[in-house]
Structure 1
């Protein structure tokens, strides 16, 4: 992993074969002091893809009961990674294609880069956000 910052607050993260996507993005946020920002583009390939997504509409009280997880292997072409960084913590979604199916969901740790990855982060100076759970235990963006 390598990262580069422009004068106007953009951070480009280069991911190499064997790098872990989310973990590398988190390290880049720390290294470049990204408190509040947005991942505005992300492309690449994964050899392992770990995601979760909400698979129901009734929203049970237990948060763990709301999500389905997938751990997929193979050659995954990543067509998009995007999301918001609040209080230094990325909340990102991914869309990927393996030649037969397209999947999408919340990007989890353990997504290994197959060939390459390129992520663009935009810092949002003057805005301080964090996630706080509401009465249904759903994390929502709020000003700090």
Structure 2
């Protein structure tokens, strides 16, 4: 992974074959001192896709009871990665296609870049945010 920063606060990360997507984005946040930001674009290909999604509306207290984790092998064309970075921690969602189905969800660790990845992060200043547990133990953005 290599990352580049513009004069106006944009960071572009190039993810190379074998890089881990989320882990590389986290490293770019550290390298460029991104406390609060937005991932505004993300494209690429993965050789596996690790996501989770919420599959119910009653929201039990234990998050493990409300999330479905998918660990899918094969070539995935990533059409979008977006989300918010608060207190240096990315919360990102991904949409990807394997030639037969489209899958979306919360981007998890372990998604290996197959051919390439390109992610644009917009660094935001003057807006210190963090996530705190809210109603139903749902992580909510709040001002620090």
One fold, TM greater than 0.5?
yes
* Equivalent position of 1:26 in the other structure: 26
* Equivalent position of 1:66 in the other structure: 66
Counterparts of residues 67-86 of structure 1 (less than 5 Å): 67-86=67-86
Runs of 5+ unmatched residues, structure 2: none
Write out the 4+ residue segments of structure 1 that deviate beyond 4 Å after TM superposition: none
Q: What is the Cα deviation at residue 63 of structure 1?
A: 1.1
* Equivalent position of 2:97 in the other structure: 97
Counterparts of residues 103-114 of structure 1 (less than 5 Å): 103-114=103-114
Q: What is the Cα deviation at residue 53 of structure 1?
A: 0.2
Q: What is the Cα deviation at residue 3 of structure 1?
A: 0.2
Runs of 5+ unmatched residues, structure 1: none
Please give the TM-score of this superposition, normalised by the length of structure 2: 0.99
Q: What is the Cα deviation at residue 135 of structure 1?
A: 3.2
Q: What is the Cα deviation at residue 58 of structure 1?
A: 1.0
Secondary structure of residue in 1 paired with 2:30: helix
Whether 2:42 is the aligned partner of 1:42: answer yes
- Separation of aligned partners in 2, 1:94 and 1:108: 9
* Equivalent position of 2:131 in the other structure: 131
* Equivalent position of 2:56 in the other structure: 56
- Count of aligned pairs between the two proteins: 144
* Equivalent position of 2:119 in the other structure: 119
Secondary structure of residue in 1 paired with 2:91: strand
